[in-house]
Amino acid sequence: MPLFDRKPVPHDEVVSGSDAATRALSVTAVENDFVEGVYDKLATVYDLVFGPTLHPGRLRAIQRMNIQPGERVLEVGVGTGINLPLYPKLCSVTGIDFSGSMLEKARERAARKDIRNMRLLQMDAADLKFADDSFDIVYAPYLISVVPDPVRVAQEMRRVCRRGGRIIILNHFLSPSRQLSRLERLISPFTIHVGFKSDLDLPAFLAQAELHPVSIEKVNVPRLWSLVTCVKD
């Protein structure tokens, strides 16, 4: 069975357009200090607010990774460590996060669950302190729409992923529906206060990050989130 079903990406999911490589990703701009403050505040309630609702997407992402024994996984934006129990024990996991409060929760979870095949580090996703080609899988769950520079983060993810490795992005992106996208752009300056920009433009993001998806799937209920799988070539 192939690692990925290389089916065409649905036309209504990603329509590049001639301006995708240059158009703005979002109407909302943030800085690292702001993001850290938001997630420090969310640390104690994150699992309750975003746990069950977004969990189907997390499960599907793990399935899509098809992790093999001995593979090295980097989770960018590990947060409270909600994904940690999902990884198979025979792989090696590194989780990084910018928020110290989130990492504290992740360390508590790892200790409570007796998870030993991982390390947790405080780090800026836009400046990963790893050598090129360090990981087999690089995964960003519900992260890309909150960082100050999504393209830079994606470029760093690609850099540290080995050739032929998988880059997995689980996130909410701007709807292709004209009516819904207008609403998402309108509310984006407010949704950032609960942890995400509601209007991140997927075609523009992929074009500017030079990522080429092999699959894009809608996940969770309602299906407002996308699971984007790329292979580094």
Is 82 contained in some domain? yes
180-192 tens-digit pLDDT: 999 999 999 999 9
Nearest of 169, 146, 181 to residue 217 by alpha carbon = 169
Q: Which two tokens stand for residue 54?
A: 């977004």
| pLDDT over 80 (residue 81) | yes
**Section 99-108 average pLDDT:** 95
* Bridge-based pairing state of the strands 213-219 and 72-76: unpaired
Is 21 contained in some domain? no
- Give the total number of structural domains in the chain: 1
Is 7 contained in some domain? no
Which residues sit opposite 92 in a β-bridge?
A: 72
Residue 67: domain span: 32-231
How does residue 17 score in pLDDT terms, banded at 50, 70 and 90? low
Give CA–CA dist 232/77, Å, rounded. Answer: 20
Is 127 contained in some domain? yes
Tally of CA atoms within 13 A in the half-sphere of 74 that contains its CB: 29
pTM: 0.89
154-187 tens-digit pLDDT: 999 999 999 999 999 999 999 999 999 999 999 9
Q: Which is higher by pLDDT, 92 or 193?
A: 92
Whether 137 contacts 66, CB under 8 Å: no
Is 5 contained in some domain? no
Least confident segment among 19-28, 149-158, 164-173, 195-204: 19-28
Is 165 contained in some domain? yes
Helices 100-112 and 32-42 pack at an angle, to 10 degrees, of 40
Contacts of 27 (CB under 8 A, 6+ apart): 185, 188, 189, 199
What CATH number has the domain bearing residue 126?
3.40.50.150
| pLDDT over 80 (residue 13) | no
**Section 73-102 average pLDDT:** 96
Least confident segment among 2-16, 39-53, 203-217: 2-16
| pLDDT over 60 (residue 130) | yes
| pLDDT over 60 (residue 53) | yes
Is 190 contained in some domain? yes
Contacts of 76 (CB under 8 A, 6+ apart): 96, 125, 128, 138, 139, 140, 143, 153, 157
Contacts of 39 (CB under 8 A, 6+ apart): 46, 79, 97, 98, 99, 101, 102, 195
Is 184 contained in some domain? yes
